[in-house]
Amino acid sequence: MSKKAGIIGGVAVVAVIGATIIGRSLAGAPAKDGETASSAEVITLKVAHTQNYVPYDFVNEKGESDGYEVAVLKAVDEKLANYQFEYTGTSDDDLLIGLESGKYDIGTKGAWYTDERAKKFVIPSEPVGASIIGFTVRKEDEQKYKTIDDFAKNKGKLVPISPQNAQWNVITSYNEKHQDAPIELTAAESFKVADAYAWVLEGRYDAFFDIKLSFEKAVTAEDGPYHQYADKLSWFPYTGIPTYPLIHRDEKGEKFAKEYE
């Protein structure tokens, strides 16, 4: 399939994309109760989603699957009368391993498009949502770095990124459009998020390319694991990036992907 790593701008992108897709899904769609297809024709698909990725995918206080991306899939389920979705909240690792093995048919976890994922899974062309990406910087530098252009022009040092990570493609795309003032991009070895925050604080790097929700949960939230850095770190947005459902690659998955479109 063609690469779907185009960037969607705007902080409200999640709501806009979600509303658009749900609208498309429900427009002219008959309710399942009104269908005359026999139950034998209904195909059950097992949908896995991350259970704590609020507000994208999570299990709510009632024990129900919830979130922006889950809502889009539920709208798709309503339209496709020959399918029935069963939802399971799980971990990132179990979702990916289970999806690859066939334990799950569909997985949603705020996943961006990467070539590596496209080789393992079927990825539809229509996104299911979007996530906001930006830069975590030292609070003392928040006036110096207000935008990605500020960071590039001031030759800020960015925490290394894995070339397999979709974030690498985002910075590469920016550099291609701003060859007069590119951001230095260094390939990453494995490291923990805590290391990235610490490296920024100690001055080893000037910024960590970070998802807004991750920063809010890890640093801003009072119960966040790195809340002790809240008065020392700041975050500013860059753009929204489309997220996609991942579909198990087999005949059933290929057929569903076509109907999903």
Residue 80 confidence (pLDDT): 95
Q: Which of 261, 244, 259 is nearest to 106 (CA)?
A: 244
DSSP strand pairing (83-90 vs 43-50): parallel
Q: Is 171 exposed, middle or buried (0-12, 13-18, 19+ CB in 10 A)?
A: buried
Q: Is residue 5 part of a domain?
A: no
Q: State the alpha helices, DSSP H only, in 180-234.
A: 193-201, 212-215
Q: Is residue 1 part of a domain?
A: no
Total domains in the fold of the chain: 2
28 and 113 co-located in one domain = yes
Q: Is residue 2 part of a domain?
A: no
Residue 34 confidence (pLDDT): 46
Q: Are 102 and 53 in contact (CB under 8 A)?
A: no
Distance from C-alpha of 179 to C-alpha of 24, rounded to nearest angstrom = 39
Q: How far is CA 167 from CA 111, 163, 210, 213, in A?
A: 11, 8, 9, 15
Q: Is residue 195 part of a domain?
A: yes
188 and 254 co-located in one domain = no
115 and 185 co-located in one domain = no
Q: Which of 126, 80, 120 is nearest to 96 (CA)?
A: 120
Digits of tens for pLDDT over the chain (261 positions)?
443 333 333 333 444 445 455 454 444 445 455 444 445 589 999 999 999 888 899 999 999 999 999 999 999 999 999 999 999 999 989 999 999 999 999 999 999 998 889 999 999 999 998 899 999 999 999 999 999 999 999 999 999 998 878 899 899 999 999 999 999 999 987 667 889 999 999 999 999 999 998 899 899 999 998 999 999 999 999 999 999 999 999 999 999 999 998
Q: Which of 140, 131, 200, 205 is nearest to 170 (CA)?
A: 131
Reduced to 3 states (helix: H, G, I; strand: E, B; else coil), residue 105 is: coil
How many other CB atoms sit within 10 Å of the CB of residue 93? 8
In this structure, the chain runs to a length of 261
What pTM, to 2 d.p., does this model score?
0.71
161 and 196 co-located in one domain = yes
Reduced to 3 states (helix: H, G, I; strand: E, B; else coil), residue 75 is: helix
Residue 190 confidence (pLDDT): 67
Distance from C-alpha of 15 to C-alpha of 95, rounded to nearest angstrom = 24
26 and 124 co-located in one domain = yes
Q: Is residue 6 part of a domain?
A: no
73 and 144 co-located in one domain = no
Domain that holds residue 225: 132-241
CATH of the domain at 140: 3.40.190.10
119 and 247 co-located in one domain = yes
Q: Is residue 7 part of a domain?
A: no
